[in-house]
Amino acid sequence: MSMTDAWPGTSRRALLRGGFALGLAPLAAWAAEPSNDVQVWKDPSCGCCKDWIVHMQASGFAVRVHDQGNNAARSRLGLPRQYGSCHTALVGGYVVEGHVPVADIQRLLRERPQALGLAVPGMPIGSPGMDGPAYGGRRNPYQVLLIGKDGSARVFNSYV
């Protein structure tokens, strides 16, 4: 039985755009959506992820949260493990991994490079979500990486 047999009158394309095949909205469908829509996969008890979401919302992003961890989402979206962090997001057709500042996401959406997305591997202190009172104003240098569709990376921005 094909997908269209299960839902008569529905095209295969419509089913795929609805996320049937992957269990989430495919990248092509997200690329057509307004760029301020964000899906985030995180652990339900992660406070720094919640703080990063507040950072995104404060800049006008509409965030939908999936409190089920992010390992499966990261894998489905094709982001290599070495770029991993505590949460994974999908923004305007791009994967955004970890504590990426909103200014870099906005630049990514303006420039629209041929790439998988952005990543801030690990959880650097001073990055958005890792900058609350508990950190006493400390800031560690970190880099935002532009991840290529082939898994390669180059520096997109640096913070000192």
Q: Is residue 41 part of a domain?
A: yes
- Mean pLDDT for the stretch of residues 106-123: 97
Write the DSSP string, 31-51.
HHS-TTEEEEEE-TT-HHHHH
**Structural domain of 139:** 33-159
Q: Is residue 139 part of a domain?
A: yes
Q: For residue range 4-45, list pLDDT tens digits in order.
A: 344 345 444 443 444 434 444 444 444 444 468 999 999 999
Tell me if 118 sits within 8 A of 111, measured CB to CB. Answer: no
Q: How far apart are CA 79 and CA 15, in angstroms?
A: 24
Beta strand pairing status for 87-91 and 62-66?
unpaired
Identify whether 6 is part of a domain. Answer: no
Report which of 20, 16, 40, 37 is spatially closest to residue 28, judged by C-alpha positions: 16
In a domain, 13, yes or no: no
The band of 112, judged by pLDDT with boundaries at 50, 70 and 90, is very high
Please count the structural domains in the chain.
Answer: 1
In a domain, 14, yes or no: no
Does residue 43 fall inside a structural domain?
A: yes
Do the domain assignments include residue 12? no
Mean pLDDT of the chain: 85
> What pTM value is reported for the model?
0.79
Query: How many CA atoms lie within 13 Å of 113's alpha carbon, on the beta-carbon side?
Result: 18
pLDDT of residue 36: 87
How many residues belong to the chain?
160
We report the CATH number of the domain holding residue 110 as 3.40.30
Per-residue pLDDT at 25: 45
Residue 22, classed as helix, strand or coil, is: coil
pLDDT, residue 10, reads 43
Taking only the tens place, the pLDDT of each residue in 54-81 is 999 999 999 999 999 999 999 999 999 9
Percentage above 90 pLDDT, the chain: 77
Residue 121 lies in a domain: yes
